[in-house]
């Protein structure tokens, strides 16, 4: 009987912890829904309505990720010093500003360059807001539930991120077709307001005492893992920025479902293997995932039909699924607790570098070699990341001996 009581108590505690994690991670999900809303509709607006080139479309999408990149140190510092809740609340305020700028750009009868400026400002604010929400959500949940739940929190936080993108992209298409493109911005404002109020009502995580390292020192320590994340994330950047234009160039419909397939593959892989980082070392999991991602990108490159391209998106999502948590576990293992916000923000910064570069660089590649070449280049980058992981494994084993 006593064993049953202990087991029941343990299960009850686990359920409460899971609910607490989900109640925080939902904020990250909403932030990525807002990020996903314009992905399948904004490139076409820049090309067809504004009459600009694919390079402009790539810059418009990628500018968000450059802003996220620049805001990562700020987000990590604010969360370490003032609390993750404070950072998340600021992020939702930023979503409201971003949605307002996007709505004004589309609704006001303005000059082309003023429209572009407002759209670009909206993307920049959206990127900074995402930085203030995504990693602080992760550390907020870890702070409330304890470091032993870190792998689970990072896993669920990633599901929320890519799941939000998968929901946001087709939702943006639906909004544009039913209510017009301006409704994408208005929806962002509404989400920001509602979840700002909800975040204010949540309990903050306690601040962790300890010496705060300068961000450049944290960044340097994280750099080897960050390089692997760059090699993986270029594919995601190319997929989000150009899959709609790739489908259009081939006369295919349903480009948004390639992004949804990516998100579905990502989520299924995460949910079907929850203890993988407890059974295998982080670098081993990351290496296997990079090989799967490579196969997915090659399938998109060679796909003779939209169905197979969407299948390639699913396979790519499966490959990407455990790369960040695997690298995150390896990163946290060598980081003092007082600097975990900065460490995860620094790791995420490399994701932003990759996705931010992917837009203009892949746009130039598409201009010279066609949109299909984007996905071949992404596959080659994934192979490069796999080789870096092999070096990191060798270094880890060598130092351990």
pLDDT tens digit sequence for 331-371: 877 777 777 777 887 888 888 778 777 778 888 888 888 88
- Residue 93 sits at φ, ψ, to 5 deg, of -60, -40
pLDDT in tens, 50-85: 777 777 777 777 788 778 878 888 888 888 888 889
Compute the average pLDDT of residues 160-183: 86
Q: Which of 19-23, 49-53, 174-178 has the lowest mean pLDDT?
A: 49-53
Q: Using an 8 Å Cβ cutoff, are 102 and 185 in contact?
A: yes
pLDDT confidence of residue 11 = 63
pLDDT confidence of residue 128 = 92
H or E element at residue 276: helix 276-279
Provide the 8-state DSSP code for 255.
Answer: T
pLDDT confidence of residue 9 = 47
Helix 256-272 vs helix 215-249: crossing angle, to nearest 10: 130
Q: What is the pTM for the complete model shown? A: 0.72
Compute the average pLDDT of residues 230-240: 87
Mark out the alpha helices in 146-255 (DSSP H runs). Answer: 150-179, 182-200, 215-249
Compute the average pLDDT of residues 274-303: 90
Give the span between the Cα atoms of 227 and 218, in whole angstroms. 14
40-to-125, 247, 351 alpha-carbon distances in Å: 19, 11, 20
Give the span between the Cα atoms of 57 and 182, in whole angstroms. 18
Instruction: Flag whether pLDDT at 40 surpasses 80.
Output: no
């Amino acid at each position: 009987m006593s064993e049953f009581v202990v087991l029941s108590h343990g299960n009850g505690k686990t359920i409460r912890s899971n609910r607490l994690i989900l109640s925080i991670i939902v904020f990250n999900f909403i932030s990525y829904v807002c990020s996903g809303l314009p992905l399948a509709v904004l490139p076409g607006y820049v090309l067809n309505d504004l009459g600009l080139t694919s390079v402009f479309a790539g810059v418009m999408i990628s500018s968000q990720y450059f802003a996220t990149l620049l805001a990562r140190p700020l987000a990590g510092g604010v969360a370490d010093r003032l609390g993750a809740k404070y950072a998340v609340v600021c992020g939702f305020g930023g979503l409201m500003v971003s949605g307002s700028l996007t709505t004004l750009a589309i609704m006001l009868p303005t000059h082309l360059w003023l429209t572009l400026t407002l759209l670009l400002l909206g993307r920049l604010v959206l990127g900074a807001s995402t930085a203030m929400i995504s990693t602080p959500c992760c550390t907020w949940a870890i702070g409330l539930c304890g470091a032993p739940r870190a792998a689970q929190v990072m896993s669920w936080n990633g599901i929320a991120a890519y799941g939000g993108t998968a929901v946001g992209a087709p939702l943006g298409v639906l909004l544009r077709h039913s209510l017009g493109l301006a409704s994408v911005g208005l929806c962002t404002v509404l989400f920001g307001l509602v979840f700002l109020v909800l975040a204010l009502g949540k309990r903050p995580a306690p601040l962790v005492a300890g010496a705060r390292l300068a961000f450049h020192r944290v960044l340097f320590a994280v750099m080897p893992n960050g390089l692997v994340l760059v090699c993986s994330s270029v594919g995601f950047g190319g997929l989000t920025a150009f899959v709609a234009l790739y489908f259009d160039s081939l006369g295919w419909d349903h480009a948004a479902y390639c992004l949804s397939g990516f998100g579905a593959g990502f989520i299924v892989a995460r949910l079907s293997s929850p203890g993988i980082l407890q059974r295998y070392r982080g670098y081993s999991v990351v290496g296997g995932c990079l090989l799967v991602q490579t196969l997915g990108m090659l399938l998109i490159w060679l796909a003779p039909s939209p169905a197979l391209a969407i299948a390639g998106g699913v396979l790519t999502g499966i490959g990407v699924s455990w790369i960040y948590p695997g690298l995150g576990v390896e990163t946290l293992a060598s980081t003092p607790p007082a600097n975990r916000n900065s460490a995860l923000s620094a790791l995420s910064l490399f994701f932003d570098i990759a996705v931010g570069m992917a837009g203009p660089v892949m746009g130039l590649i598409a201009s010279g070699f066609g949109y299909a070449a984007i996905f071949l280049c992404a596959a080659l980058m994934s192979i490069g990341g796999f080789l870096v992981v092999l070096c990191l494994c060798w270094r880890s084993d060598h130092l351990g001996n």
